[in-house]
Amino acid sequence: MASSLLILLDDITSMLDDVATLTKVAATKTSGVMGDDLALNAEQASGVRVERELPVVWAVAKGSLLNKVILVPVALLISAFAPQAVMPLMVIGGLFLCYEGVEKLLHKALHPEEKHSAAPALAHPEYSDAQLVAIEQGKIKGAIRTDFVLSAEIIVISLGTMATAPMAQQVMALSLVSLAATVFVYGLVAGIVKIDDLGLRLHQKGQAMGAVLLRLAPRLMKALSVLGTAAMFTVGGGIIAHGWHAADVRLEGLAHHTGPLAPVTKAVLDALLGVVAGAVLVGVMQLVSRLRRRSA
């Protein structure tokens, strides 16, 4: 009896060690996507009322967890029964990211009927409480939609690193990676959006670091806004290129000619592909919209 219990404990320990190894490898492989996720979500959390920053981050974090609760079992089922469907679904997600990125860049031109952009809500005190709530909800929904695509990529990449592992280990490792990614990204986002508050408190206490943080906070948020938009094109274009083998080979060849700058060049080329793909989709959607208005 005692020997059977020891064998069981040894099996459990061995499995947990294997899960820990799988989780570590998956986390390493997905670190780049997590960085893009961080930039995108920090940028999405900006432009809301100061007292609502953390509630917005928390709302998006809950949405992200729900995304992963949906995506983990779906990814496992697709991987087991229809692995050929994984890449087409990812490409659709990549196209969506590129479309949203171009839509964001051209928002004012595409939506001239809107008086103000949703982003600088704090700059317009004439907004009513209902309008501010609508802006906030729009930001939350947009961030959760974007997170869905990024979460799917994290899960697919993670699953690729553990394809030969037993199903039980895959389930545990994917769940750990998903939870860790959410805690890591949104914990950092919460810290970033509150840098200015920390700087103000330190400044009030007479500490020099407070003034540094107060100067840094708006520049950091502006930089994250640019990086967040760029990440949409880099991630989306990268997914499209990966699914379109001929394009990926061509871009890899062009990047290879730049020597040590090849990784940076490849990211830039992926982003350019993303911009082109997003622009084409926006053009198609605008054409469809005009045709519908004419036929109405």
Q: How many domains does the chain have?
A: 1
Domain that holds residue 152: 2-295
The band of 184, judged by pLDDT with boundaries at 50, 70 and 90, is confident
The band of 6, judged by pLDDT with boundaries at 50, 70 and 90, is very low
Which residues, 6+ apart, have CB-to-CB distance to 90 below 8 Å? 152, 153, 156, 239, 242, 243
pLDDT of residue 127: 64
pLDDT in tens, 113-166: 554 444 444 445 556 677 777 878 888 888 888 888 888 878 887 777 776 777
The band of 277, judged by pLDDT with boundaries at 50, 70 and 90, is very high
Compute the mean pLDDT over every residue in the chain, rounded to the nearest whole number: 78
pLDDT of residue 117: 43
Contact between 147 and 64 under an 8 Å Cβ cutoff? The reply is: yes
pLDDT of residue 23: 62
